[in-house]
Amino acid sequence: MKRRIETALFTRRDFVRAASAGPAAAWLAACGRAEDAGSSTDAEAAIASRGERPPRWAKDPAPFIQRTLNLETRLELVDGFITPNELFFVRNHSPTPAIDPEGYSLRVEGDGAETELRLDLSTLESLPQHTITAYLECAGNWRGLYPELTGTRASGGQWTTGAVGCAEWSGPSLATVLDLAGVRPETVDVNLVGLDSTGFERAMPLAKARDPDTIIALRMNGEPLPADHGFPARSVVPGWSGSSSIKWLGSIQLSTEQVWNANNTSSYVLIGDEWPAEEHAPAQGAVITELVVKSALALPRPAQLAPGSHVLHGFAHAPAGPVSAVEWSPDGGTTWMEAEIVDPILPLAWQRFEFEWDATPGAHTLATRATDAAGNTQPDEPLMNEKGYLLNVPLPHPVQVE
């Protein structure tokens, strides 16, 4: 049953006063164990007891390239500006959990919080809702193309071009929830923790957490969040690595010290000779936050086309969007021509582009190159690092015409 979203305007003092009385006391409670926060895996346990393998995803995986726990979007199936929920890529660190919305609560805690809160789903829905259209991308998108582009293989999931998608997200801003708890002046970081079996977590500076477009999403493309995309609540942090957009959000931890964990010390970190670790910091290299400008064709790799005129399209995106120009090359980057950016043009979203190509028989290599409004463009040389993050050279795309 869909819950009705209401807008309620009240101060933190009003909230705490209401939470202290009668039935509303469920809004505010001492922090408990993770299993008390709607993370029950009874359904998975029942499946396991029957000797069956628990499902990795809730959605139909058939349209995707399946990669262990992950589902890679086939960009050629995405024709419009918005990625449909059923085609949006899935990046999981463990199988998608089944979370009971009635038992769900989001904790706000830590030494940087003036008050520890527990917010149920109806409370999150009653807060002022903010809607953004934003793309999400795994920092390792394109990693599987490292051997082709650099001659070396990077460690990690071997994505090609489909660990990216664009959707409309709605929910309260993270800042609104932080204000309910109260933020101590000495607070430095906000660490977000998921309710998946790995308890995936990642921290961000308080300033980013307070960005008006950093939200706790409850809806995706006008529908309650699908299970694979974080139901009942997730963070969405536009322009930053998808690892910052925590699914199945269970805990918001305000810290008066910088937070370090595996996901900003050894994972989602640029490691290599060009990325020396900072003195006195536990990270093995430069911590990834913002993404990079990229573009890709919505074609299979390699593609096969019939001879003749084709209108081809693709998607370009930049963290400091919008993308202002996209070029395309019919000869692997020797010559470049302007592609058309198709409306709408929104600052946090990707941009759909298209161009007409008169395909002649034989083997061809197409390429695209995007530039954002600040003048950032895709570089000629790849960003070398051990785990293959943030690869964004103009991508050669093989096409056989016959």
Among residues 259, 281, 308, the one where a domain terminates is 259
- The answer, as to whether pTM is greater than 0.95, is no
227 and 344 both lie in a single domain: no
Distance of CA 225 to the CA centre of its chain: 13
Q: Same domain for 36 and 149? A: yes
Which pLDDT does position 53 carry in this prediction?
A: 66
pLDDT score at 277: 87
One digit per residue, pLDDT tens: the chain, 402 residues? 333 223 333 344 444 444 433 323 333 333 332 333 333 344 444 444 545 567 899 999 999 999 999 999 999 999 999 999 999 999 999 999 999 999 999 999 999 999 999 999 999 999 999 999 999 999 999 999 999 999 999 999 999 999 999 999 999 999 999 999 999 999 999 999 999 999 999 999 999 999 999 999 999 999 999 999 999 999 999 999 999 999 999 999 999 999 999 999 999 999 999 998 888 789 999 999 999 999 999 999 999 999 999 999 999 999 998 999 999 999 999 999 999 999 999 999 999 999 999 999 999 999 999 999 999 999 999 999 999 999 999 999 999 999
In the numeric block, the tokens 């977590």 are attached to: 201
Report the candidate in 342, 359, 229 with the shortest Cα–Cα distance to residue 299. Answer: 359
Q: How many structural domains compose the chain? A: 2
Domain-located, residue 271 = no
Same domain, 106 and 30: yes
Within this chain, do residues 55 and 163 fall inside the same structural domain, yes or no?
yes
Same domain, 210 and 350: no
Q: What per-residue confidence (pLDDT) applies to 51?
A: 53
CATH of the domain at 346: 2.60.40.650
Q: Look up the CATH number of the domain holding residue 240.
A: 3.90.420.10
pLDDT at 167: 98
Q: Is residue 275 part of a domain?
A: no
The pLDDT tens digits of the residues spanning 246-257 come to 999 999 999 999
322 and 376 fall within a common domain: yes
Same domain, 309 and 168: no
Any domain includes 264? no
Residue 64 shares a structural domain with residue 191: yes
Instruction: Name the token pair of 196.
Output: 């998946």
**Separation between Cα atoms, residue 365 and residue 354, nearest integer Å:** 17
Select from 259, 282, 302 the last residue of a domain: 259
The boundaries of the domain holding residue 315 are 294-401
Helix H, strand E, coil C: the string for 185-251 is: CCCCEEEEEECCCCCCEEEEEHHHHCCCCCEEECEECCEECCHHHCCCCEEECCCECHHHCCCCEEE
| Residue 303 and residue 237 share a domain | no
Q: Which DSSP symbol is given to 117?
A: E
Residue 121 corresponds to which tokens in the numbers above? 């789903």
Domain membership of residue 287 (yes or no) is no
Structure tokens at 317: 């995106």
